[in-house]
Structure 1
């Protein structure tokens, strides 16, 4: 082959590979675009002021909203974050900073296993741990189930972000006579803060759409939230109940609820990206 032929061959191969990679990137984005577009097409007509401010109507009546489910979802996410984030962050810091190799390896392995456990199994676990002793479904039980789901994500993300902190920063603090715990608290964590916050937001986005564990714990409620020890509504539960009902208006509201839920997840994911972009230099 002449030099000119070789150059043309390489250009063609480069063009083909560039086209394939662009098509692969499009294939990754296309499902999300189609899902969001379909939800927008099906559910936008049911979104109005009443949807965000009113309770569900009685069976068979047209109208109403999912205000209780929206508030319930936010409460459950808050409870899960309150329970899961501190434990996950502390666990991740321990895995990254511990000098003992055996226990961190076991914890890391168990966290990876827990991350792969089906959410319905975690729901049954929370049912046995919380619902049966309390003898009632409750927001607390739902928060515990969601916290268990988010825990391994926060642990592993925090560990990776803490490991990215340059060793020179730790050594500088220790060389000045600062205790190790204070170096971690005042140097390591602030440096890795952007990545840790991103991991926390990703975990929140992960649990926002969970339905199966809430069926065994929060159970759902057609009225306003009455206490952490009472059943509570949530968007995934409301969507599930409306989707299997034989009423066209409920089907429209189920599509609207799914649209609101995916917009919530997208908003949290976008915030995570913005935090990472704004503070990426801090970890470096």
Structure 2
């Protein structure tokens, strides 16, 4: 009987290759890999080469240098990875490099804007600037402050939020939970149209009503225009958050005999409260920097006006515009404009932090054991 055959006449089981054979097979399947610091090395080499090319070509714009460095980083990393790791892994690194370049292209202008605002705004930003108005202060005089503009912004944005947030929330609930047929499609269409309305158009609409009523400029008129701009943002963001709530939660509540309105109030809204709050805060940030409706409907004022229903009011965006327009690019008004811009950024940042805190507080808690 042959050594390779079993007693039944068949072939015997294959022989074991041994430890050495397995290690050789594993080594043949293991592809070469670039070290972890290779991306940083490629980025540094790309920046260095871009600087050399920029100097040699006489390019004065740093943006051109950055574009050259980005192209060198993307294609240089791809070529290196294709040579060492293979084309498949090189494609993955190519996409990763493009994502990093896109991130830096968005982050660098934002960081530059914040840095420039902070550097110029801290020159006159102090307690006096925050607690005084521009009464009896001309455009070229030192001193003055933004207290009247802060009061106007808080009141106008607050009134707009009080009007727009409930309307937007209820509209989104209708579209997600009840909306069927032509009415829902019509509402969705007009929400989409309102999302792209320029702010000046909303201001002109309220201005036409003011002319019909023969009303004088006042702060609440600006709030009405801001509310028009805010409603579609609230509707869209709330609608997306409500659609993320699993249908199983709704079905479980309805199966227990809970009415639909109570299911929405006790199950759907608490589950999505974090996203809804964030959406409302994004809408507030959208309208907090609007200048055209306030300039058209409120006209501004150097005095502190606590009554938004009578007389003109100022606001932070309008204050920035007026101070910069009278500054000519230098002087006390120019510094006050940058300080007001820094205050507006801080105002929006505080609102976003408050929204995140509220979202965490109101988010449903898991009952872990």
Aligned equivalent of 2:137, options 54, 58, 65? 58
* Rounded Cα–Cα distance in structure 2 between residues aligned with 1:11 and 1:271: 43
Q: Deviations over 1:186-243 (max 9, x none)?
A: 2211112111111111100110100011111122111011412221110111111100
Mapped to 2, the partners of 1:105 and 1:234 lie a distance apart of 37
Q: Which of the numbers 324, 327, 334 marks the counterpart of 1:243?
A: 324
4-13 vs 84-93, greater mean Cα deviation: 4-13
Counterpart of 1:265 (choices 341, 344, 348) is 348
Task: Tell me the TM-score normalised to structure 1 length.
Answer: 0.91
Q: CA deviation at 1:152?
A: 0.2
CA spacing shift, 1:12–1:170, aligned 2, 3 Å:
closer
Moved more, 242-251 or 81-90: 242-251
SS of the residue aligned with 1:236? helix
Q: 166, 180, 184: which is aligned to 1:104?
A: 184
Q: Which runs of 5+ in 1 are unaligned?
A: none
Q: Please state if 1:87 is matched with 2:167.
A: yes
Deviation at 1:138, TM superposition (A): 0.9
1:157 and 1:196 in contact (8 A); partners too: yes
TM superposition shift of 1:43: 1.5
1:26 matched to 2:109: no
Higher relative contact order (CA 8 A, sep 6+): 1
Please, which of 150, 154, 157 is the counterpart of residue 74 of structure 1? 154
Distance 1:19-1:276 versus aligned 2 partners, 3 A rule:
farther
Show structure 1 runs of 4+ deviating over 4 A: 2-6, 270-282
- C-alpha separation in 1, matches of 2:232 and 2:248: 28
Q: 2:74 — aligned with what?
A: none
Deviation at 1:143, TM superposition (A): 0.7
How many pairs were matched up?
A: 282
Distance 1:271 1:30 in 2: 26
Residues 80-130 of structure 1 deviation map (CA, whole Å, 9 limit, x = unaligned): 011111111011100111152321111111111101011011111111224
What is the distance in 2 between the residues matched to 1:186 and 1:126?
Answer: 37
What is the CA-CA distance between 1:277 and the residue it aligns to? 6.8
| 2:315 counterpart residue number | 234
The answer to whether the Cα contact below 8 Å between 1:131 and 1:217 also exists between their aligned partners in 2 is no
Task: Give the secondary-structure state (helix, strand or coil) at the position aligned to 2:161.
Answer: helix
Quick check: 2:155–2:308 contact (8 Å CA) kept in 1? no
- 1:216 partner SS: helix
Higher fraction of helix: 1
Name the residue aligned to 1:125.
205
Structure 1 residue 40 displacement after superposition:
1.2
2:254 to 174, 184, 188: 174
Kindly report the root-mean-square deviation, in angstroms, between the aligned alpha carbons of the 2 structures: 2.4
Could you tell which deviates more after superposition, 233-242 or 95-104? 95-104
Flag structure 2 segments of 5+ consecutive residues without an equivalent: 1-27, 32-82
**Cα distance between partner residues in 1 of 2:179 and 2:131:** 53
Does the alignment pair 1:14 with 2:92?
yes
In the alignment, what sits opposite 1:211?
291
Match for residue 335 of structure 2? 252
Q: Tell me which residue corresponds to 2:79.
A: none
Q: Name which of 276, 280, 283 aligns with 1:196.
A: 276
The alpha-carbon distance between structure 1 residues 199 and 252, as it changes in their structure 2 partners (threshold 3 A), is same
